[in-house]
């Protein structure tokens, strides 16, 4: 690792000010992804700004929304009574991610900011437009078993690794961001980016901004929610395909549906057309398969990940079936 400067921020405003003063500075909280990237030479920030002392760990209910601080630990969020009561889908997704030790260190904001686990991104000898724009995408003609089937470009086919973010995308969450000019709010589905011509940009944070909170509107999906994660082994593995499914039901009829996928795109992939199709439909296997087929429109596989074209719709139908049976 290269030498770097370490400083500690005591306020959110101070953290933003510190970041603005040095272009190659980054925030650090749990560091579960950042430290790995620094060790491998993928990133080499000259200054680390420790934000762990900022008062951004609380989880509160106000009116019709739950607010989660960006420094709340993944393990704490997954076990919090408000989350379990109102958003079991988020709890399921968090518990499906990483190991207990990592969940005890990882924060909500850090989870949102984590980088792809594409092996070409991590290998500094290989070409990677995300790591070094203009060098090419090694995965395109390489080993691309874990890679995207939606939303990719000729510049990048990497996928976003988070389980938590898939659930937050399905739950209509919003992100509160602080910058030098004050706070702003964006929809969670607009936070992460598709690669396009700028695959080095993972999200829509502007320079000098800090994630402070995530807000989730209270909903009626508590009784019928399920997170399905298909992976190579039962623990500590990233998703080949994952599905967050949440349903509001009246009898056997679906009045509202929320669906998002992980392991298939550069960002959590929301299935809005499938959601619209399911609204007002009976909760039947036929309708689940039809929704899954609709969700797969536009999917494109590469040499080693064509199995996802079958795995993904099967996972959608299975997640919907499991969500329906939850009560």
Q: What pLDDT is recorded for position 1?
A: 78
pTM of this prediction? 0.97
Percentage of residues of the chain with pLDDT beyond 90: 97
What's the per-residue H, E or C state across 105-163?
A: CCEHHHHHHCCCCCHHHHCCCCCECCCCCCCCECCCCCCCCCCCCCCCECCECCCCCCC
Q: What pLDDT is recorded for position 234?
A: 86
Rounded to a whole number, what is the largest CA-CA distance in the chain? Answer: 61
> Could you give the CA distance from residue 262 to residue 92 in angstroms, rounded to a whole number?
14
pLDDT digits (tens, 9 = 90+) for 56-97: 999 999 999 999 999 999 999 999 999 999 999 999 999 999
Q: What pLDDT is recorded for position 83?
A: 98
Q: Is 132 exposed, middle or buried (0-12, 13-18, 19+ CB in 10 A)?
A: middle
Side-chain half-sphere exposure of 224, counting CA atoms within 13 A = 21
Token pair belonging to 116: 């792809």
Q: Other CB atoms closer than 10 Å to residue 168's CB: what's the count?
A: 29
**Per-residue exposure over 32-60, b if at least 16 CB sit within 10 Å of its own CB, e if not:** bbbeebbeeebeebebbbebeebebbebe
Q: What pLDDT is recorded for position 327?
A: 64
């Amino acid at each position: 690792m290269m030498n770097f400067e370490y400083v500690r921020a005591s306020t959110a405003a101070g953290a933003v000010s510190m970041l603005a003063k040095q272009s190659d500075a980054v925030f650090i909280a749990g560091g579960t992804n950042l430290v790995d990237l620094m060790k491998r030479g993928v990133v080499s920030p000259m200054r680390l700004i420790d934000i762990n002392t900022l008062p951004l760990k609380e989880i509160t209910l106000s009116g019709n929304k739950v607010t989660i601080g960006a420094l709340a630990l993944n393990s704490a969020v997954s076990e919090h009574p408000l989350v379990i009561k109102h958003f079991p889908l988020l709890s399921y997704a968090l518990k499906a991610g990483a190991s207990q030790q990592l969940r005890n260190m990882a924060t909500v904001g850090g989870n949102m900011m984590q980088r792809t686990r594409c092996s070409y991104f991590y290998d500094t000898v290989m070409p990677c437009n995300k790591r070094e724009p203009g060098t090419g995408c090694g995965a395109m003609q390489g080993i691309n078993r874990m890679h995207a089937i939606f939303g990719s470009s000729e510049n990048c086919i990497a996928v976003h690794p988070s389980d938590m973010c898939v659930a937050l995308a399905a739950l209509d969450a919003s992100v509160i961001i602080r910058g030098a000019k004050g706070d702003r709010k964006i929809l969670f589905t607009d936070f992460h980016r598709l690669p396009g011509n700028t695959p080095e940009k993972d999200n829509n944070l502007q320079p000098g901004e800090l994630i402070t909170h995530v807000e989730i509107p209270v909903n009626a999906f508590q009784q019928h929610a399920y997170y399905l994660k298909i992976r190579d082994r039962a623990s500590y593995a990233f998703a080949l395909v994952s599905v967050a499914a949440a349903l509001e039901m009246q009898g056997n009829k679906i009045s509202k549906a929320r669906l998002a996928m992980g392991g298939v795109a550069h960002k959590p992939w929301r299935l809005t057309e499938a959601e619209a199709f399911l609204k007002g439909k009976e909760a039947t296997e036929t309708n689940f398969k039809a929704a899954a087929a609709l969700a797969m429109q536009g999917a494109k596989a590469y040499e080693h990940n064509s199995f996802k074209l079958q795995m993904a719709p099967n996972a959608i139908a299975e997640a919907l079936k499991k969500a329906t049976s939850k009560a």
